[in-house]
Amino acid sequence: MGSIYKSLLIIKSPIKSFIGFTESSISLLKHCTNHRLITQGQVIHTHLYKLGISSHRHIAVKLLIMYLDFKKSSEVDQLLKDYNTFDMIVHNCLISANVNWANVDEARKLFDEMPQRNEVSWTALISGYLKCGRVDESMELFRRNPFQNVISWTAAISGLLSNGMRLESLELFLEMLRDGVWPNNVTFVSVVRACTEMEELALGVSVVSLVVKLGFEEDVSVCNSLITFSLRLGEMDMASAIFKRMGKRDVISWTAILDMYVEMGDLREARKVFDEMPERNEVSWSAMISRYTQKGYSKDAIELFRQMIENRINPNSSCLSSAINALANLKLLQPGKTIHAHVTKIGLANDVFISSSLIDLYGSCGSPNDGRLVFDTVQNKNVVCWNTLISAYSSNGQHEEAKKLFDQIAVKSIGSWNSMVTGYLENEQYDKVFEVFNDMLLSGQTPDISTLSSVLCACANLTSLQKGKDIHGKTFKLGFQHNVFVGTSLVDMYAKSGDIENSKRVFNKMTEKNEVSWTAMIQGLAENGYAEESLELFQQMEKTTCIKPNELILLAILFACSHCGLVDKGLHYFNLMETVYKIKPNERHYTCVVDMLSRSGRVREAEDLIKSMPCEPEVNAWAALLSGCKTYGEDEIAERTAATIQELAEQKSGGYVLLSNVYASAGKWREVLKTRKLMKERGLKKSGGCSWIEVRNELHLFYAQDASGNELNEICGVLEQLKYHMLVLYEHN
C-alpha cells in the first residue's frame, strides 16, 4: 500500500521524465485496477493527460481496462472515441470485460463482429462460457480454436474443474500432453487442484514428478498448490517438507502453512506462525480470525479483528463475516450492529456470507425479526441464507415462521433439514424432531452426522431405547459408526435410556474420544448408579488423556459420591475444583455437596456451606437440606430452612412448585392446592411440562401448554375428580 503513494508522489513531482516512465505508469494503473483504487487511478489519468501521453497506445489500453473494470461507462465511451482505431486489442478488452460481467452473449456478439481474431480473443470467449457453466458451447469453441496454445488448454482445464468436471479436466490434461503441448506453472496449479478435489494421492504424486522433470519445483505458485494438496489429503509431513525446501515463499505459502497448524488442532503454533510471518495480507488475517471463531475462541477472534482494524488493514468479506460470527457466539448484539452499519456503508450488505452471519447474529441475540429484515434485503439469496433464517426462527421458538420458510425452499440442502431438526431439538419438541427426520428420509435426503447426533439426542431425552437402537443401526449403514460425534451421542442415548451396558460397549469401541465423549460416559455411569465405575473412569481419563476435567464431569463425580455415600471423597474432589482444576464451583456443584452432606446426616455442615456460597443457592439445595433435617430430626434447622423456602417461593415460580411438591410429599393436599392457587393469582407460571408415551414404536407427546378447548376441559375434569378423591381419602385416613 505504501509503495503506491510513493509512486504517486513521484508522478506529482517535477521530475517528469525518467527511464521506464511508461512502464511505471502502466504498472501503477494495473495496481489501481487490481486493488480497486479508483480515485488514485483517476489522479494518475489526469497526470498522464497533462503530460500528453494518455493516448499512448499501451497506456490507453490500460486506462480502458481500468475504467471497464470500474464500470465507468462515460469514461469508457470517451476513451473509445479518442482511440479511433477500434482494433483487435480493444475488441479483446471489451470481450473480457463482458465476460467478467457475466455477459457472455454480448462477448460472443463482439467476437463474431471481429474481422480478425487472435489467440486472446478465442481464449477469452472459451473461458467466458466456462465461467457461466456453458460447458458445451465452450468446448465446441475450444475444438475449433485455430490458435491452441498452453494458455487456452489451461483455461479449458481449469474451467472444467470449476464446473465440477474433475475427471474431464484431467483427461483434457492428458490429451494436451499427448498433443505435445508442455504444461506451464499455471497448468500445474490447476491440475494439482484437480488431484486435491479428487483426493487422488497417487495421481498427485505422479504429477509432482512431472513438475520436477519440467523444472517447476521452484515455482512459488506450484509449491503453494502442492502444500494445499498435501494438507487436504492429511499429509502434514509432506506439506511442511515442501514449505521448508521452498527457496522463495510468499504470503500464500505462509498462510497455507498457518492453516496446516490449525488443521492439526494446534492453534497456538498457528498463532506463532501468524506472528512471525514476514508479510501478512487480509487473507492471512482472515484465516486466523475465522479459525479462532470456528474453534470456539470467539474472544480471541474479536481481539484479532480489533488489532487488524488498528493496523489499518481493510477487512475483506470473509473476515467481516467471521467477526460477526464470533460476536454471534458471544451474543454481543451492540458491536454486531456497529459492524452491520459499517458493512452497509461500504456496500457489502449484499454479500451472502456477511448477510447470513448477520442473520445468525440477530437470531442468536433473540431478534429473529431483525434477521428477517437482513434476509429480505439480500438479492442473491442462497440456501445458506434460508437455512440461517430458519435456525434463527426455530431457535427462538417461532416454529411456524421456520416451517413456512422451510416449505418455500425449492431445493433443500442437508443444512435446511438440519436447521429444522436442531430447532425442534433446542425447544425440546422431540416428537417434531422425529417427524422432520421421517419426512427427510421420505424425501430421499440422506442424513449426515449432525442429523443423526440430533436425533439421538432426542431419543436420549425421551429415553426411547427402541428408536435409539434403530438410529444406531442407521449409523452403520451410513458408515458413521466411527465418528466421534455420533459415538458420543450413542453413549449418551444408551446411558440416558438406562442401557448402561450398550453405552459402555459403544464407548469402548470408539476410536476417537473427545472431552464430550468422556463427559457423557462418566455422567452416564454416575447417573445410573455406577458411582465407583464412574470414579474409576474419571481417574483413567486423567491418567491416559490430556483432557482436563470440565464443570460437567466434576458435577457427575460429586453426584456419584453423593449417591454412594462417599462423602469424604466427594469433599476431596470439591476442594480440588478450584485449587487444582481451576474451575469455580457453580450452584449445581454446591447443591450436590449440600445434598451429599444432608444425606449423611452432616446437616449443620450443609447449612454452613449453603450460607457461605458465593453464588445464589438453588432452591433444590434448600430442599435437600430440608429433607436431611427431616431424616435426622434437625427441627431447628428445618424451621429456618422452611422459612427460607417460603421466602424464595414468594419470588420465583420454581419456589412455589417446590413448596407444593414438599407439601405433596407430606400428603398435605389442602396446602398443595393453596400454593397452586397462590401461584395462579401472582401470575407465576410453571415452565412448560411435557409427557409422552410410546405405543407400538410411535411416540405420542403431550405438552402442558398444548392442551386447548375440549381437550383441556376433559383433562381438567379428570384432574378435579382425582383431586376430590385424594382429599376424601386423606380426610378418611
The Cα 291–Cα 299 span in angstroms is 12
* Contact call for residue 226 and DNA (CB under 7 A): no
To the nearest whole angstrom, how small is the minimum distance from the Cβ of residue 453 to DNA?
Answer: 14
Residues 160-199, interacting with DNA (CB under 7 A): 162, 184-187, 189-190, 193
**Options 368-376, 415-423, 477-485, 594-602: segment touching DNA (CB under 7 A):** 415-423
Nearer to DNA, 277 or 495 (CB): 277
* Contact call for residue 384 and DNA (CB under 7 A): yes
* Contact call for residue 256 and DNA (CB under 7 A): yes
| 701 membership: H or E segment, kind and range | strand 698-703
* Contact call for residue 98 and DNA (CB under 7 A): no
**Options 410-418, 523-531, 558-566, 696-704: segment touching DNA (CB under 7 A):** 410-418
**Options 279-287, 636-644, 683-691, 717-725: segment touching DNA (CB under 7 A):** 279-287
Q: Which of 25, 54, 98, 325 binds DNA (CB under 7 A)?
A: 325
Q: In sequence order, what are the residues at sequence separation of 6 or more whose Cβ sits closer than 8 angstroms to the Cβ of residue 157?
A: 169, 172, 173, 176, 187, 190, 191, 194
Residue (of 615, 622, 682, 690) closest to 652 by Cα position: 682
Nearer to DNA, 265 or 565 (CB): 265
Q: Is 371 exposed, middle or buried (0-12, 13-18, 19+ CB in 10 A)?
A: buried
Nearer to DNA, 82 or 714 (CB): 82
* Contact call for residue 383 and DNA (CB under 7 A): yes
* Contact call for residue 132 and DNA (CB under 7 A): no
* Contact call for residue 127 and DNA (CB under 7 A): yes
DSSP single-letter state for residue 687: P
Any idea of the CA torsion for 340, 344, 347, 350, to the nearest 10 degrees? 70
How many angstroms separate the Cα of 176 from the Cα of each of 169, 173, 443? 10, 5, 43
Residues 102-121, interacting with DNA (CB under 7 A): 118-121
Q: How many residues bind DNA (CB under 7 A)?
A: 82
The Cα 292–Cα 303 span in angstroms is 10
* Contact call for residue 644 and DNA (CB under 7 A): no
To the nearest whole angstrom, how small is the minimum distance from the Cβ of residue 375 to DNA?
Answer: 12
To the nearest whole angstrom, how small is the minimum distance from the Cβ of residue 414 to DNA?
Answer: 6
* Contact call for residue 454 and DNA (CB under 7 A): no
How many angstroms separate the Cα of 505 from the Cα of each of 31, 330, 470, 493, 663? 62, 37, 16, 12, 43
Q: Which of 40, 298, 387, 475 binds DNA (CB under 7 A)?
A: 387
Name residue 484's amino acid.
Answer: V
Question: For the chain, what is the radius of gyration of the CA atoms?
Answer: 34
Range 420-424 contact pairs with CB under 8 angstroms and sequence separation of 24 or more: 420/390, 420/394, 421/451, 421/454, 421/455, 422/391, 422/394, 422/395, 422/450, 422/454, 423/390, 423/391, 423/393, 423/394, 423/395, 423/399, 424/394, 424/399, 424/458
- For 38, the 3-state DSSP assignment is helix
Assess contact for 606 and 628: CB atoms under 8 A. Answer: yes
* Contact call for residue 287 and DNA (CB under 7 A): yes
Nearer to DNA, 160 or 638 (CB): 160
Q: Which of 416, 464, 534, 562 binds DNA (CB under 7 A)?
A: 416
* Contact call for residue 388 and DNA (CB under 7 A): yes
Residue 578: count of CB within 10 angstroms of its CB: 11
* Contact call for residue 401 and DNA (CB under 7 A): no
To the nearest whole angstrom, how small is the minimum distance from the Cβ of residue 182 to DNA?
Answer: 10
* Contact call for residue 93 and DNA (CB under 7 A): yes
Assess contact for 513 and 484: CB atoms under 8 A. Answer: yes
To the nearest whole angstrom, how small is the minimum distance from the Cβ of residue 227 to DNA?
Answer: 8
Q: Which of 54, 98, 318, 475 binds DNA (CB under 7 A)?
A: 318
Lay out the site mask for DNA across 340-359 (x = CB under 7 A, - = otherwise).
Answer: ------------xx-xxx--
* Contact call for residue 446 and DNA (CB under 7 A): no
Any idea of the CA torsion for 483, 484, 488, 490, to the nearest 10 degrees? 10
* Contact call for residue 290 and DNA (CB under 7 A): yes
The three cell numbers locating residue 303: 481481539
**Options 142-150, 426-434, 542-550, 638-646: segment touching DNA (CB under 7 A):** 142-150
Residues 55-84, interacting with DNA (CB under 7 A): 61-62, 65
To the nearest whole angstrom, how small is the minimum distance from the Cβ of residue 230 to DNA?
Answer: 11
Lay out the site mask for DNA across 9-48 (x = CB under 7 A, - = otherwise).
Answer: ---------------------x------------------
To the nearest whole angstrom, how small is the minimum distance from the Cβ of residue 325 to DNA?
Answer: 5
Is the sign of the CA dihedral 92, 98, 99, 103 positive or negative?
negative
**Options 5-13, 150-158, 567-575, 608-616: segment touching DNA (CB under 7 A):** 150-158
Q: Which of 88, 181, 203, 678 binds DNA (CB under 7 A)?
A: 88
Please report where in the chains the cell 464470533 appears, as a residue.
326
Lay out the site mask for DNA across 234-253 (x = CB under 7 A, - = otherwise).
Answer: ----------------xxx-
The three cell numbers locating residue 648: 424464595
Assess contact for 385 and 375: CB atoms under 8 A. Answer: yes
DSSP single-letter state for residue 331: T
